[in-house]
Amino acid sequence: MMVDSGPLITDAWVTGYDAINHRVYVILHDGQQLPVPVRVLMNGPADLYAVNQVEMPKPGTKVAVAFINHDLRNGILLGSFFATGANTITSDSTQPFLNFFAHWTGNFEYMDQIGQTVNWYPDGTYIQVAQDVSALPTLYQNTLDSEGNQQRVAVTPASRVATAPSPGFKIFINHSSGTTVTIDNTGNVIIGLNGGATFQLDNDSDSLALVSKLLNAFNNHTHSSVEPGGGASGPPYAPWQVSDIESALAKTSS
User: Distance between CA 193 and CA 174 in Å, rounded?
Assistant: 10
Provide mean pLDDT across the span 93-117: 92
Residue 243's pLDDT is what? 61
How far apart, in Å, are the Cα atoms of 19 and each of 38, 40, 64, 65?
A: 11, 11, 19, 18
Is pLDDT at 26 greater than 60 in this prediction?
A: yes
For 71, which DSSP code?
A: B
217: closest CA among 244, 248, 188?
A: 244
Domains of the chain with CATH codes: 9-80 (2.40.50.230), 99-160 (no CATH), 170-202 (no CATH), 204-249 (no CATH)
Q: What is the pLDDT of residues 36-72, one digit of tens each?
A: 999 999 989 989 999 999 999 999 999 999 999 888 8
Is pLDDT at 253 greater than 60 in this prediction?
A: no
Residue 201's pLDDT is what? 83
Residue 239's pLDDT is what? 59
